[in-house]
Structure 1
């Protein structure tokens, strides 16, 4: 159902008119239960995960492609069509990714459900940058982690930028919030070793940690790992550090003292997954 839009004050597109204000966007999404999926590839992944679109914003150039993606849903779904100049004014950038869909936000699964059958989970503690959240989730999915957990104060994985940077992997990789954080008893009860990635003098090197995991696997054990990433700069909170079973750090060269949190997460996720296969990655 195509609807032409010529005025940004049109109340029918209120799902899209708060895009530039992060704080207002977050409260608006929470109140009305929606999130924004930007680009055809992200929309396709959201639909494949069973998420339901509420409306779509695009320009006429992309209508045919959009109909192919939406299928029968396109007939009854409001598809708002605006010219490129108006879309740029609304979003703050030239919308070359095809479309933005307002999706109904699904209920988060329980922690018990997410942990069931998992051997490797990534915990994001208080990451405030949506780009880092999206990149960390994408890395976790790519490296073979089973799930992602976020602390109550972590940026929303379903915020527009986080979804875009994750390339929609936030829809395919199970995730939920761990409300009791930094209480890790629920993880330890299920046999998870909680390892915090931290630049601490007491931290073991990632290759040594991975080697110990691989040895356990080769001995017939089935270790489970919950890897914790702290926020950019300050790192993990003191309470979270104290709740970990051990701390792990990545050995660095050429005078580099730290990595971006998402990059560090990718390196650590790869090492952990290889170790859980019994073949730790060469360092």
Structure 2
């Protein structure tokens, strides 16, 4: 059913316009909340990954254009539409590709479940920048990382901007939350903390590729990884660099580490 929007105060649009990310996460219950996917390409990836749509918000021109196949595949989904100017007023900014879809979250998988057949995983430790989260997921998908784990102090991967930056790859790589690094060690993983210390080894050190199960730990850009995390890791790893450059953006560093240690060398 298609609904023409005539007021920016329409109550049916609250989940698109006035709810915070935290409110969306808790919209249904603690196990299953809501997230917003933006752009037809990203929405299609989410649908193919089995996420259930709730409602679509788009410009009129996209109903028979970019969003046509999405709408036809989900005939019971309510469609809210209006002019580009109306939607910009509703959301506070001009939409990317003019399409938003509210979708139900899936229950988060157990750590043991997604690590059962994994060999190379990434741990995102206290990274709160949504752009970096999305970029890390995109590299993880492209370069053969089997799963992504996030500490509770990290940003939610289903944040709207993180999803958009990832180009939907957040829906392709299994992920869940990590409570304690001891869980990884108990499941047979060696941990490699990406950090600059006096006793760090090179990313090219053969010992890293020899590990049957390896977790690559990426920390926040400002402070890096906590000293305790580095201390308890099996390896501390640095990326060799030149011109006295001492660090890379965390998303760039993750891509380099994934290329060297993950799928392309399996």
2:222: which partner in 1? 233
Matched residue of 1:12: which SS? helix
1:205 is aligned, of 202, 205, 211, to 202
1:185: which partner in 2? 182
1:31: which partner in 2? 27
- TM-score (structure 2 length as normaliser): 0.93
CA distance in 2, matches of 1:149, 1:225: 13
1:53: Cα distance to partner? 0.5
CA distance in 1, matches of 2:150, 2:199: 25
- The answer as to whether partners of 1:2 and 1:79 remain within 8 angstroms in 2 is yes
1:26-72: CA deviation from partner (whole Å, max 9, x where unpaired): 23332331000000111000000110000010011100232312334
CA distance in 1, matches of 2:103, 2:135: 21
1:1-283 alignment, distance < 5 Å? 1-18=1-18, 24-32=20-28, 33-64=33-64, 65-73=66-74, 75-178=75-178, 180-181=179-180, 184-208=181-205, 211-214=206-209, 216=210, 223-273=212-262, 277=266
- The answer as to whether partners of 1:121 and 1:146 remain within 8 angstroms in 2 is yes
- The answer as to whether partners of 1:56 and 1:101 remain within 8 angstroms in 2 is yes
CA distance in 1, matches of 2:149, 2:263: 21
Matched residue of 1:16: which SS? helix
1:15: Cα distance to partner? 0.9
Structure 1 unaligned blocks of 5 or more: 217-221, 278-283
Higher alpha-carbon deviation: 92-101 or 1-10: 92-101
1:212-259: CA deviation from partner (whole Å, max 9, x where unpaired): 234x3xxxxx61110000112101112222221111011111222211
- The answer as to whether partners of 1:223 and 1:276 remain within 8 angstroms in 2 is no
The size of the alignment, in residue pairs, is 261
Higher alpha-carbon deviation: 264-273 or 251-260: 251-260
- The answer as to whether partners of 1:26 and 1:159 remain within 8 angstroms in 2 is no
CA distance in 2, matches of 1:35, 1:17: 12
1:274: Cα distance to partner? 6.0
Higher alpha-carbon deviation: 121-130 or 25-34: 25-34
1:179-220: CA deviation from partner (whole Å, max 9, x where unpaired): x23xx2221222211001012122111112xx2234x3xxxx
Structure 2 unaligned blocks of 5 or more: none
- TM-score (structure 1 length as normaliser): 0.87
What do you get for the CA RMSD once the two structures are aligned? Answer: 1.6
